[in-house]
Amino acid sequence: MISLWQRIGNRDLLSRSALAMALKVLSSVCMLGFNLLVVHHYQPGIAGEFFLCVTLVLITSQVARFGMDNVLVRRVSVLVSQQDHASLSRLCSSALLATLLAGLGLAALLHWSAGPLSATLFSNPGMAPMVAIMALATPFYALCLLTSYINQGLGRVPLHIISLNLGQVSIASLLLVVAVQAAGMAPSATLLGTCYVGGCALMMLYTLVATGRRVALRPASARANEALPLIRESAPLYMVALTQLVMVWSSQLLLGVWAEPADVAVYTIAQRVAMVTSFVLVAVNSVVAPRFAVLYHDGKLAELEALSRLSVRMMLAMATPLLLLMLLFPQWILAIFGTTYSAGAAVLIVLALGQFVNVVTGPVGYLLQMSGHYREVRNNTLIAAVTALALNALLTPRHGAMGAAIAAAVALSVVNLLGLWQVRKNLGFRLAPGMA
């Protein structure tokens, strides 16, 4: 046991994972706090429209990043270990510029198509002003997330987690509180959308400045011959990213098509609460993903296996109490957001079980991606996305939020169980938490 600690630095892993977990807990509190602010000041119908618009921003920002997230984690971590600062500057500057241009184009497209999109997809022309405003967040949010993954590769776990969502929702919450409570402004849908866009924009500026202290980010360093090969390398993961969007968010979007905005609000709150369980996964992965890349690159497969199994045990230890709370007290938890939302207790239970499978299977996605098995990850997510669409089409029109929850939970379980099998097949070991 002592030699294992010496070889892979488990003491440092535990301390850094504890810090990451604390930040993810803070992130979840801020996210739930922002949702609580929204449901407190707005009727479920408007809240549901806002949550749908947030989903649209998540989708467009994902498209703008070309699937480069985890390729950047792997390449940045290797370049840092090699101390190749010039290549690091060109890589990051090129990736950020490509994402900025794509994000601006998508924001313009979504902004100008807000009317037809609201009327045809959601059968709700009244959503158009909210969609038009929220579209402006696309390039800001996309750059926040890309710099987040760059900092993960740099080993800057706090900045990585803050950039994922903590900073955006914290600033948006502050803007909303100041506008409504201090300035006495009416809590309109326009104000809500503006606060969210402002939170994303201010956080983007901060993350770029903070990242620039470690990496020389200059437009002049961007190269087409750097960006295009990076995008080509990311192509399998771009498909993964797009199919993950279908797998994770299709339930919410299709519920918006087949149900009322108030039902979307109830489902979204249950989904956000259930995702607290998966924050354990994100916290541990924030620390171990760069190590996976370096260990695999150096051919240290025994250490990679030991680190992977330790990660699973840590995830189980931290996630199990959260799951038990959701299973035993779902109505009480949702009632915090209002009596209307306690009706989603059964939905929360189903979604929480799906998230627990996500945790108990361990960092299978990161293991495959950091070891270069992009096609396997793509195939797994494609199967899960098809599963999600099929179940949504079958269950959501009849059973509403519960049907959407079942579709989301089953799809998430499918992708992780397939990943568990692929790790055994391609890396040669099982992620068994009980094994030493």
User: How wide is the angle at C-alpha 166 spanned by C-alphas 162 and 167, nearest 5°?
Assistant: 75
**Distance (Å, whole) CA 156 – CA 170:** 20
144 pLDDT band, cuts 50/70/90, is very high
- Rounded CA separation 279/358 (Å): 10
Helix or strand or coil: residue 186? Answer: coil
Question: Where do we find the tokens 């108990």?
Answer: 360
Q: Is the pLDDT of residue 435 over 80?
A: no
With beta carbons less than 8 A apart as the criterion, state whether 203 and 168 touch.
Answer: yes
Least confidently predicted of 155-159, 229-233, 234-238, 384-388? 234-238
Whether pLDDT at 5 is above 50? no
> Left if phi > 0, otherwise alpha if psi is -120 to 50, otherwise beta: which for 298?
alpha
pLDDT, tens digit (0-9, with 9 covering 90-100), for 72-123: 988 998 899 888 999 999 999 999 999 999 999 999 999 999 999 898 888 8
For residue 302, the one-letter residue type is A
Q: Which residues contact 68 (CB under 8 A, 6 or more apart)?
A: 95, 98, 99, 146, 149, 230, 231, 234, 237, 238
Cα–Cα distance for residue pair 89/217, rounded to 1 Å? 6
- 42 or 138, greater pLDDT: 138
Q: What is the pLDDT of residues 233-274, one digit of tens each?
A: 888 778 777 887 788 778 888 888 888 888 888 898 899 889
Q: What Å distances lie between residue 178 and 183, 195, 200, CA to CA?
A: 6, 10, 17
**pTM for the structure as a whole:** 0.74
Structure tokens at 19: 């810090």
Average of per-residue pLDDT across 302-324:
85
Give the C-alpha separation, 374 to 386, whole Å: 18
> The tokens of 120 are what?
């045809």
Domain positions in the chain: 1-21+234-436, 42-232
Q: Are 293 and 81 in contact (CB under 8 A)?
A: no
Closest of 99, 68, 323 to residue 222, by C-alpha: 99
Structure confidence at residue 7 (pLDDT): 46
pLDDT > 70 fraction of the chain, expressed in percent and rounded: 93
Q: What is the CA radius of gyration of the chain?
A: 21
pLDDT of 184-227, one tens digit each? 898 898 999 999 999 999 999 999 999 999 999 988 888 888 88
The tens digit of pLDDT for each residue in 20-33 reads: 667 766 777 777 78
**Contacts of 383 by beta carbon, 8 Å cutoff, 6+ apart:** 414, 415, 418
CB burial readout 117-128, b (16+ within 10 A) else e: bbeeebebeebb
- Residue 385 near residue 418 (C-beta atoms within 8 A): no
Confidence at 309, pLDDT banded by 50, 70, 90: confident
Check if the beta carbon of residue 159 is closer than 8 Å to that of residue 221: no
Alpha-carbon distance of 175 to 137, in angstroms, equals: 15
Average pLDDT of the residues in 396-421: 93
Measured from the Cβ of residue 411, the count of other Cβ atoms closer than 10 Å reads 29
What is the rounded distance in angstroms from the CA atom of residue 358 to the CA atom of residue 382?
17
- CA distances in angstroms from 329 to 335, 345, 346, listed in the order given: 10, 8, 11
Residue 212's closest CA among 199, 201, 221? 221
Percentage above 90 pLDDT, the chain? 39
Per-residue pLDDT, 11: 60
3-state secondary structure of 154: coil
Q: Does 436 score more than 50 pLDDT?
A: no
Q: Which residues does 265 contact at the CB level (< 8 Å), separation at least 6?
A: 39, 44, 45, 47, 48, 51, 340, 341
